[in-house]
Amino acid sequence: IFSVHSLVHHWKHPLRESLEPLREAYRIGMAAGDVEAAVWSLFSCLNISFLIGGSLRLLEAEHFESARVMLDFQQNVHYHMTMAGLQVIMNLRGNSSQTTRLIGDAYDERQIVVEQNHDMVTFHTVVVNLHKLVVASCFSDHERGAKMTVELAMHWLRTVPGSYGLIPMIFHGGLCCFAYARESKTRKYYRMGRKLLGKLKDWERHGCPNCRVGVALLGAEERFCRGQLKEAEKLYEESIRSARKMGNIHEEATANEKYSAYFADTGDDDKARLYRAEAIRLYKEWGADKKVELLLLLEKDR
């Protein structure tokens, strides 16, 4: 069950459909005494719940509880990866002094927690890098996110080719690359963004439903970079509709935030405020209180 729903099922079905089978795999594993297999399923449940926009308030509590289980059964690498995910949630909820770094009460990215000779060190590093990329993207540290993506994207594609985490890596990496391409006027980030957009398009053509929001939103950002504004607007609107249809509140919030930034950059302040207000509403519903705070400050400054 774990292998199917961590590596295969999401390429043809919505990611949220894997949650209940993985919960069942966790229960079966614990009942059978196969703790390691059970903990893999538990770890995937936590990640998938976050990636489909589950309530951050509930996820914060679930991460704490699950981390205790992992520690009790000496599943230390899973524990550290779970705590890195918890730190992302704490940053988004405003329960950390940091936003764009995994530094806080749950996790400190500056510390080595898995030895280099451990057989899970590569996977642990990929997971932590995904979490670093998520906070860089969510809190608009486009430079950090883009540079990470240029350095590591091809490695991710080789290392975790079937993982459910690959699509959000491409999504957030592409957003950072296109944004930083505009900020820095550096072509290599635009080229990387296009390469990642091409990957999502290929996967969508082969039937992956979890790429739809990314194809539309990265497509909008790519058209914005090229100055094709009418086409960009159509794709921003499509990304909002797609995220809403899939029930991914966090992606709907992100799409509204990006559309607001687009209008701010192109001089339409009324529409920028309109879409920013919708992003604030959605982030608040998701539980991302720090995002709400920062967007309200941006609104005040405007």
What pLDDT digit, counting tens, does each position of 3-31 carry? 999 999 999 999 999 999 999 999 999 99
Dist CA 178 CA 197 (whole Å): 10
pLDDT at 257: 99
Helices 269-286/289-301 angle, 10° precision:
160
In tens, the pLDDT along 32-43 reads 999 999 999 999
Helices 187-205/212-226 angle, 10° precision:
150
Region 197-222: mean pLDDT is 98
Instruction: Kindly report the number of other CB atoms within 10 A of residue 31's CB atom.
Output: 9
Q: In this structure, are residues 108 and 78 in contact, taking their beta carbons and an 8 Å threshold?
A: no
pLDDT at 27: 98
Separation in Å, CA 125 to CA 86, 131, 231, 274 = 16, 10, 38, 39
CATH number of 208-297: 3.90.480.20, 2.60.40.420, 1.25.40.10, 1.20.5.510?
1.25.40.10
pLDDT at 114: 83
Dist CA 299 CA 276 (whole Å): 8
Answer whether residue 117 shows pLDDT above 80. no
| % of residues, the chain, pLDDT over 70 | 100
Chain position carrying tokens 């990640």 = 47
Averaged pLDDT score across all residues of the chain: 97
In tens, the pLDDT along 181-195 reads 999 999 999 999 999
Region 87-116: mean pLDDT is 94
Indicate the pLDDT class of residue 169, thresholds 50, 70 and 90. very high
